Structures are given as C-alpha cells and as structure tokens.
Amino acid sequence: MRWMPVMLLAACASAPSRAPRGTKARDVPPDVDRDYAIWLGGARVGTAHETERWSPAGVILQRTEAMRFLRGSVPVAIATVIEITADPSLAPSRVSWTERAQTTRHAEAQRDATGWILVDDTGQLGAIRLPAAAIPAELAPLFVRRDGRFAGPVFLPARGFAAGDGRIEPIAPRRLIAQLAVNTVGTAPAPGAANAAPRAIAEATIDLGDDAMPIRVVDGEGVIATRITASDAAIAFRPVDLLAATSIPLTGSPSETSPAKLSASTEAGTARPLRASTLGAAGRAGRPSDESHGAAASPRIVRSSDESHGAVADPRAGRSPGEASSALLGSRGATAGSSSAHVRRIVLDGDLPVPSLPGQAPQVTPDGMELALSPQLAGGLPPGPPGTDRTREIITLVANVHRRIAPDLAAAPSSARSATAATAGDCTTFALAYAALASTRGIPTRIITGFRIDGDRLVRHRWAISWAGGAWIAIDAAFGAVPAGGDLIGLAVHTADDVGLLAGEAALTHVRAARWK
C-alpha cells in the first residue's frame, strides 16, 4: 500500500513450516493462502490476499491488494498486484508490479549476476542501481520464517523500486518488529552538512497467533492489518474519507501580527518583500490540494540544498506515493498564496524539527513548535547562485502546468516519472510536474511535504520551493500560488524522485496536534 511501505514488508510475514532447503518432493512446503482486512481510524479501507505457490523449482509469492476509499466525496479504487519468483533458497529472480486504477501501470524486474534489470510500462529496459543481493521487501518475511529474523538490502516495487535497508526481528514472544530505512544516496543535505546515514523511517509491529501466523500488523501511522477468513474478505464495506481520517484538528482562533513585529529569532531573515502572484481565481478554483503521504519516519533524513533537483525522466515505474501508503488526496478548500502582509502563528505538538522555509519561521517554545506563517517570510535556507529575478518565469511554468493538468481526486498516485506526462492528478502531481519543468530551465527546486490549513484542520499537502535568483520562494502549483504561504506548513524538504518522496512522507506522522497561537 502506498501509505504503508512496511505493511508490504510485514503483512505477509508468516512463521509456519521451514522454507525448503532441497528439491525433493517431500521437502516442498504446502501452498498457503492468507487474507487480511486493512483498517485506518477504525474504518476498513481495503483487503489483501496473499498466496505462496511452492514447487521443486521454488516459490511464487503473490500479494493482491484492493483499496477502496474516498478523497473528499470522490470514490477511489486502486488494485495492486506484486508477484515474486524465487528459488528454493529464496533467491529472487523476477519481480512484477501492476497497479490498476483509472489507468494501468506495470513494471517487471529480473535479476542476473550483475544486478537487477527493469522493464517499465513503456517497454524500456534499464539497469536499477541496486545490489544484486537486494530483495523485494515482500520476500523478507519468508527469510524470517526460515531464519527467525532478517536484515539486508531491500527495494519497494510499488515505490519506483526505491531501495533501503530492512530489518525484522523478534522483540517478545509472538511479536516481531519490522523496520525500513530508505537509502538517502542521491538526496542533498544542506551545504556543509554531512551526508545522513540511512535511518529507520518506517516501522511495524507484527503479532503472531497460535499457529505462528500473523494475526495483526500495526504500522507507525496507525494502519492496521488483521487476519480474516476468505468469507469475511468478500464482505463489502463502506469506503471512508481518508482526507478526514488523516487530517489533524486545528483548535483555537487565529490572530494576526505584522511581519515587522517578528522577533529576530523567528524571522529567519527576510531578504526582500516578495510580491504575491497567482494565476487568478479561475486558475485556482477547484484545484486539488491535499494528499496523504503516509509512512512512518523521521524528517531529519533530508535537508534542503541550493542545487537543482527537479523530477527527471526515470526508467523506473511509479510508486503506488505511498501505494493507497503514501496517497490520500485532499479537499478543495481555501486557496493558497495570500498576499496579506499579516503573520499568523500556529503551535504544533510533535517530535520533529521544522525547517525554516519560505512562508514560515519556526521557533521552539515551551508550548511546542511555534510557526509564524506568511508568504512574506523568506525563510532561512542557504542562498542559491545569484542571478536575475526569475519569478515571472516561474509563474509562466506554473501556468503551463495548469494548462496541461486537470485536478482529479480519483487519479492514480503520481511518481516522479509519471508526473512529467500526467494530464490529471493531485497536489503531488502538480508539484512534481512543476519541478520537472523547473529542472529543464535550470531553476533550483525542491519538493516540500507537509500540511495545508483547511479551516479547522490540517490536511496533507505537497508543493515546491525554487530559487528565484535572489530568494527562495514557495510555489503551490496545485493552487497556482507564487509565492505561496500563509496556509502552508512544511515539514520535510526533499528531492523530486521516488526515494525523496518516500523520505518526505515520513515527517507527517510526527505531528500529533495543532492549535492557533
């Protein structure tokens, strides 16, 4: 699932009989079928069916996941199938991934002695930069069944084959812990900062039943998979609004101050007043805004940089922006990019550092993480290369994105690759499409994952920041706002590739509550 990368790693963890060590018929384990109900916030959002088909040649492991939910009032259905072929020693030789939503996407990877080779949905061949020892994360539980634990390189077929390090180990009788750390190679920390080592960004707890089979899996975002019978799996359920299920209530009432009254500790350096520009009401009305990007992780993984890292065409298949992990699109609430000179303040309760970005100035207080919000705030990022003002050029790029992409809450999740040709999508699609255009023009750009203020709640959202020649500015392409701010809360700065998206999604789970100051 898109918003549960570890669920894919953990939900099929089983520990009955040993994995085969020979090819004799009597050593071949029996075939296995498993069914799971997937829950979020007490509501059922999907069903997963897993099969193991054994023969003397090895095993074919298949996971079929059917997700049904609402994005606001728009119904969404996403079906994902991952199939893995491995020999009796569990060495994988083939992995296929298929996603069916409004359109169908497919990718297949094959391994030889030199590594993994991928054929994506366009039929192109390409080498994946993965060690030959890397395995699909869904296969790791079979190693646990054989060896009692697992540790090693893994990749996520449903997330553009993004690579990381997986670990599954017992922590108590009949309880396992699964962790996934995404490799941060290719992301860019702040200038002068050391490259961060991979961190555990997703975690799940697995409870085993009397038969040593998983009966319950809980990930860091509160998504729960429970073992059910095949007949229960066939029972229809009413889809839940995932926007509402993943939003954070915003309590209290807002108050406003002038940017001039900000203290030096929170102002974080305003380079010069930025003139707010938008595409106009017609360009913003009804634009999709908010997307849930699941996964549990630390936002400390990625820092912003002054380099240009827009989305680039990449032979890897798209992810599933969290697979229905990572992918709840939000509402179409208030427009972004207010030109008001007033500053609003909000206090977050959580356990993460918040970056100083265009449109926001964070300050740690006894009450929590306090944020000043205004499109007039320049943030505290290191400056990019000096140059002429490119704000008008950026506005033109955003207008081009709006002409090409229509808001569609039911569109399949976008990947860094698919967004370059998308004609419909959500906030991630808009942000990635803009980043791709900015990259071709040599405009340093990063993607931001965070929240947007939508009335009395915070909803998940993505936008971009770009170096405009004299300052970093926020660009909310989904709403046509340049510069954006005042209603945006950025939690993670990352690159526009699939690994960056996965790392960015991690920060969302670290905010527990929010209130107006």
User: Looking at the domain assignment, is residue 274 inside a domain?
Assistant: no
* The predicted structure's pLDDT at residue 354: 92
User: Looking at the domain assignment, is residue 220 inside a domain?
Assistant: yes
Kindly indicate the confidence band of residue 352, based on its pLDDT and cuts at 50, 70 and 90. confident
pLDDT in tens, 143-174: 988 888 999 999 999 888 888 899 999 999 99
pLDDT in tens, 104-121: 889 899 998 888 988 766
Maximum mean pLDDT: which of 101-110, 277-286, 301-310: 101-110
User: Looking at the domain assignment, is residue 312 inside a domain?
Assistant: no
Report the share of the chain in percent with pLDDT over 70. Answer: 72
User: Looking at the domain assignment, is residue 96 inside a domain?
Assistant: yes
Does 416 have pLDDT greater than 60?
Answer: yes
User: What's at 215, amino acid-wise?
Assistant: I
User: Looking at the domain assignment, is residue 393 inside a domain?
Assistant: no
* The predicted structure's pLDDT at residue 411: 76
Does 182 have pLDDT greater than 80?
Answer: no
- The span from the CA of 324 to the CA of 307, in Å, is 31
pLDDT in tens, 42-83: 899 999 999 999 999 999 999 999 999 998 889 999 999 999
| Mean pLDDT of all residues in 362-373 | 92
User: Looking at the domain assignment, is residue 458 inside a domain?
Assistant: no
* The predicted structure's pLDDT at residue 260: 53
User: Looking at the domain assignment, is residue 334 inside a domain?
Assistant: no
* The predicted structure's pLDDT at residue 148: 86
Does 102 have pLDDT greater than 60?
Answer: yes
- Our count of domains for the chain comes to 1
3-state secondary structure 274-316: CCCEECCHHHHCCCCCEEECCCCCCHHHCCCCCCCCCCCCCCC
- The span from the CA of 113 to the CA of 107, in Å, is 20
15 Cβ contact partners less than 8 Å away, ≥ 6 residues apart: 144, 145, 208, 212, 213
User: Looking at the domain assignment, is residue 237 inside a domain?
Assistant: yes
Helix (H) or strand (E) holding 394: helix 391-404
For residue 90, what are the domain limits?
A: 5-243
Residue 463's beta-bridge partner residues?
Answer: 448
Does 408 have pLDDT greater than 90?
Answer: no
- Give the residue with greater pLDDT, 506 vs 324: 506
Does 473 have pLDDT greater than 60?
Answer: yes
Assign 3-state DSSP to the chain and report helix, strand, coil percentages, each to 5: 15, 40, 45
Q: Please give the model's pTM, rounded to 2 decimal places.
A: 0.76
Nearest alpha-carbon partner for 502 in 245, 266, 183, 125: 183
